[in-house]
Structure 1
């Protein structure tokens, strides 16, 4: 048998299919520990036709082998191995039959139906109680399942097929009868449907994956062409603009997370999503007959895109359809070429050629690489107080309320005014008013919504809370936060702040813009709250004061600009007066008692620093140190 042989899933050779046995030694969670099964195996008989379940029995021809596979002895050994027991020899099996009180005549004769068990086999399995040999939970290893189920054909051929192709079964041994039934031809052939959608790209195909048993009539005198294994019946690809460029994610996900954007690009992406959904559903309606006749429907779609295919009025593919499958391997952008690659990957049978010794060595190496099972804790070991630390189980109403609180605080901190107003108008009765204290489980240092907006530096939200909702600015911060901040203020300001024994929303303002909001509200609503007492607002900010402050700022900026311009002009064009002063200055070696001879005066003298700013004093001090260092270097 060639190592490069290619097998199609629905056209396996009969001589190979008859010799297949499931190789589920280490890939089945319910299987007995693999080391025990390997030790039970006897050396395989030489030759191509042999049974590796019944202790290496060999056969002369194919008919003898088929007769053995239908016998009660072989079926008993298969059931015993799957249940974690040991295979028995033919003589031992005969002794077991003789020991049965209600043995049935003809139990050793072959049956025409190889898939049904005789009463003798069922009685033997029930009496031997094979399941009692299973390992304890402490010693059982968690063996991971793979995407491919393997079958073995003696002496050295293995076939691998993806598990998702089969109907879900408890063990991989149940896949073998289904694999054999797949080789039987159907009148119109077997059909598969494959859909992919991601990033606005869509690709779909309906393909006949097996040949029909009746070929079309090509007329007299025409030579019949060999029919391909697979035939594409329908295919379609298209693309819509739904994804935000260089940012990822669809527009609908962005709208759900941050609210509806109002840009032109957002409108185009929303239109693209609607058009993509309509195009796909129209295509499904057009292919409805072939999709309904498909044995498998392969779908690659995210949670949001999955609703395009199922769960809508008049949907052809219903939710929970047993034919639905996902691709068991990574896929790329939905294109026609990618669908063809995935189709070939699913229908192409994987073939390996390992001997029994090599397979046994692989199993042992794999089992050695598995982590050892962790010991299960005893019932008496937990401390009596362990149950007190378990998180409380919340009801659906409490979980919904907590989610609403989180959304509200998040919108306030981020300054999302439009979603915040709509959310508050819809859910304000849920929170109990604008001045309701925040729940302790939130973990915020602030105590009210106004305090959160003020400490987050959101001036617009603060103005909305004060002017529209009339939030109370006199409510103090929580006691723990007040204690920490009051201690620091007492050490700095002394007894002069005795009236501020607690902090308010104004005291926790993050910037000047938020403080101006409080002052404006105090000017607009002077009788609403005790602004200058309990709210700690220093003064009201009227429009006249604000205009006066702005004009002073403009004059100050203008004066600074004039000074800068004058300095630049003097630097470029020195005045004659300045030159005369420099020329008439006394020489350095002449002593002048009326003033200092060096920049900044004599060392250690502060006479020349009178009237200078702190910046100029620092520059003079640096000059002194530089000259002192130069003098020391010259002296050395």
Structure 2
């Protein structure tokens, strides 16, 4: 065992220190300076303190055994040596049975176990195993924390007569570290955790991280298999890993470590990134005793402050017999109400089917459906309005209004002429859509509606074809309705459109087209007369130029031929020469045309 100062304590020295310790654990003692009163020593103070804590935590009597289990559990077991010295040792180095023990002789048992641990661990000494894994980093080591029994503590003398260096109690027998890419940079979290919380990523980085997790798991398990013999001799095995990473060491086929192994421990203090140096630091933290020097008064103040900080237990109310919760009963309907509800649902279904036929322009299906029953949609027949529970876009509309809104000319014509639908019904309250939304692309319809608050089926016509259907029907069946009326009972159709009017309009169109054709012909003839006659210029005779000898003198500017005149020039100069040649040819043609006139 080492002190926090780093000095080694021999077995004989430790026995002397242990004899001077009072059996006080996990806290301090409150004793009087009078040594004659034995009930005020450290052990008695510890017992009283434990009972007070039990009373506060359990809310029962001090002698209640069940309250002893509620003593606050700390990771360090503290021993008090008068007058003002405290020694602390981590509890995880002790057996599990002693850690969970809550008797009055707990301190004595801890002391006995410490003495036993100082005797060594057989021929090979005591061995511990330490493993850490986090964020793709792994570090593992098997260390010897005490020398084998019978090994000399003093090193003796060297050949030169100098004293040998004493062997260290702790020695690293095996160690291994490696790293795999398993987490996203600056975002944390493993790839498997991200896949479980969200949809599985398909990026290249995600695939690399999944491969890294699998490789890390395989590497660790392979290392455990290689170290199986050493792990079998280890007295304690410390593992620092998350819940998901802990499955790497346990719960797999052929696992070296079993899940219920009594040797498994966790580090009782915060740790950093898994490295070899971090394992050495954690080993020193576990094997070195903590020391403090507090007086009895300081310890007593700490106890009082700690007791004051504990929350007071809330009064537990007496349990009341649970009453069975009754589900709210649905209101029972009478047979008449059930029949009415069923009829309402059937009516809504019929209206939905009819509106679907109209929207798709299925006139034959609509005729067959309405022919089955005159009152299939209600007592008013084709003039009935859609029920309130129907779709908001068509609630309260008649078949004629809906067909007009959908622009179905054939269905509108059939409803007006064959089904005798009423075009004078005021549909102002039948449509929920605002005027601006319904006719934002039709200026004429907007002007018609803006003129008054009353609207009929004609006011919903957005196309000229649907409006002409109303006008033709008004001309052919003028005695059926007040087509041209704008007041109550009027259909608000602006004018009629008879066959004679349509024939007259077609005739006017034909005359207008014929006149336009004649004007176009006259304009073309006049333009043709004004154009001058084009006289082809005579072809110039090819002049024969004497061939010049290659060896003789040549004219300045090169040969006279067009093909040879541009030889040796840059592309820009060639283009300039070609433009000048074309300009001269154009001037020659203009002069020829002027002389011909």
- What is the TM-score with the length of structure 2 in the denominator? 0.46
Considering only CA atoms, is the larger Rg found in Structure 1 or Structure 2? 2
- What is the TM-score with the length of structure 1 in the denominator? 0.44
